[in-house]
Amino acid sequence: MSPDSGESFEIVAREDYSDVTFMLDIRHPAMARAAKAGQFVIVMEHAQGERIPLTLADFDPARGTITLVIQAVGKTTREMQRNCLAGTTLHAVVGPMGIPSHVGSAGKVLCVGGGLGVAPVFPQARAHARNGATVIGVLGFRNRDAMFWEDRFRGVCDELIVCTDDGSAGLKGLVTRGMEQALAAHPDIDECIAIGPPVMMKACAEVTRPRRIRTVVSLNPVMVDGTGMCGGCRVKIGEGVKFACVDGPDFDAHEVDFDDLMARLARFRPAEGEALRKWEESCRLGAAQPASGERY
């Protein structure tokens, strides 16, 4: 879909999981039919908006909807949190993009999601379950209040381990503790999929590396066009350089240079912070303006 096509996409449902995390169901029948686990979309909330990449958290061909789970951390996602309500529309939804996740002949798969990464790991867990694999899920959250989609995972996982940083639900600790528990009980795990913040995925890779378990991570570096033209999403994989938008977003975790990835992401934080500051200031100024017909 071209942003200039004049078509818009209705948000048919919204659910808030925390003060910063929210879910949107978007009507897009063609994409719901075409989407596969591991792919992403690029979204524009309005015609002058920023293009932001979001991994597909779910898709339902029967309902004609795709599902996105978003964390409001920057200017654009905060703006979406404020404006994207059920019944409103998005200006553009482009995709599905990226290479679909490989669902092979693995007999037992460990699916690990941390924080917002819980959402995009769900379609991968479901795809492996439908392919006949035994699926063990490990989900990590800050606390019980931040948890979401436990019921969805229990519907596709043969075993589910929940971890919270403060111990308010499940195991107390990081997802790596849950991984260690799962690997101790299931030494025959064939493959691991881990999605979450780069520091989490790096830690997961170090858990599986000595065991020589194939481990796949989904990378979401800064993207602009989503076609490989801008080069903004380049990542170091082994001895080479790849573009996450067209070569990924899935990569071999044991080949990813996570330190380089995190350093590149850090370079954009000052600009992102300034954009958020200006947006918040414009919101305050707008709120201070008198209503139509009022006088100062």
Question: Does the pLDDT at position 1 exceed 80?
Answer: no
In whole angstroms, give the CA distance from residue 103 to residue 214.
13
* pTM as predicted: 0.83
DSSP state of 272: H
Q: What does the mean pLDDT of the chain come to?
A: 85
pLDDT at 294: 47
With residues binned 3-state (H G I as helix, E B as strand, rest as coil), the percentages for the chain, rounded to 5, are 35, 30, 35
Structural class in CATH, domain 108-266: alpha beta
Domain-wise residue ranges, the chain: 9-97, 108-266
pLDDT at 233: 79
Output the CA–CA distances (angstroms, integers) from residue 91 to 22, 31, 56, 232, in the order listed.
19, 15, 17, 23
pLDDT tier at 264, thresholds 50, 70, 90: confident
Higher pLDDT, 67 or 222: 67
Q: Is 12 exposed, middle or buried (0-12, 13-18, 19+ CB in 10 A)?
A: middle
In whole angstroms, give the CA distance from residue 66 to residue 29.
8
Are the folds of 9-97 and 108-266 the same?
no
Q: What is the CATH number of domain 9-97?
A: 2.40.30.10
Chain segment 145-156, per-residue pLDDT in tens: 989 999 999 999
